[in-house]
Amino acid sequence: MTTLSMELPDQIFSVMRYAPEDFKKEMRLAAAAVWYEQGRVSQEMAAKIAGMNRTDFLLALARMEAIKVSVKILLRLKGESKSAG
């Protein structure tokens, strides 16, 4: 497996409220999810990039999608309340 080294601002860990190891996991999942959503990698490869098995990767995607849907609903409701008021 290839190791990748990156330089990040020191503040990123406090801003994101992650320890460095947790940030690394989150970054891997985010990259894998985006690339999978774009069709650039398969589900199996995305799971490997994220450091997960396929089931856990799909569950993580479902949680991420639930967050996106919740945000869209809240924004729509906010828009409806402004137009009604």
Q: How far apart, in whole angstroms, are the C-alpha atoms of residue 53 and residue 9?
A: 30
pLDDT confidence of 85, banded at 50, 70, 90? low
Total count of domains within the chain: 1
Q: Domain for residue 26, yes or no? A: yes
For 31-81, the pLDDT digits (tens) are 999 999 999 999 999 999 999 999 999 999 988 887 776 777 777 777 776
Q: Domain for residue 46, yes or no? A: yes
Where in the sequence is the domain holding 77, given as residue range(s)?
Answer: 16-84
Classify residue 51 as left (phi > 0), alpha (psi -120 to 50) or beta. Answer: left
Q: Domain for residue 10, yes or no? A: no
Q: Domain for residue 58, yes or no? A: yes
Entry pTM: 0.74
Q: Domain for residue 79, yes or no? A: yes
Q: How far apart, in whole angstroms, are the C-alpha atoms of residue 5 and residue 52?
A: 20
For 21-31, the pLDDT digits (tens) are 999 999 999 99
What does the pLDDT read at residue 42? 95
Q: Domain for residue 23, yes or no? A: yes
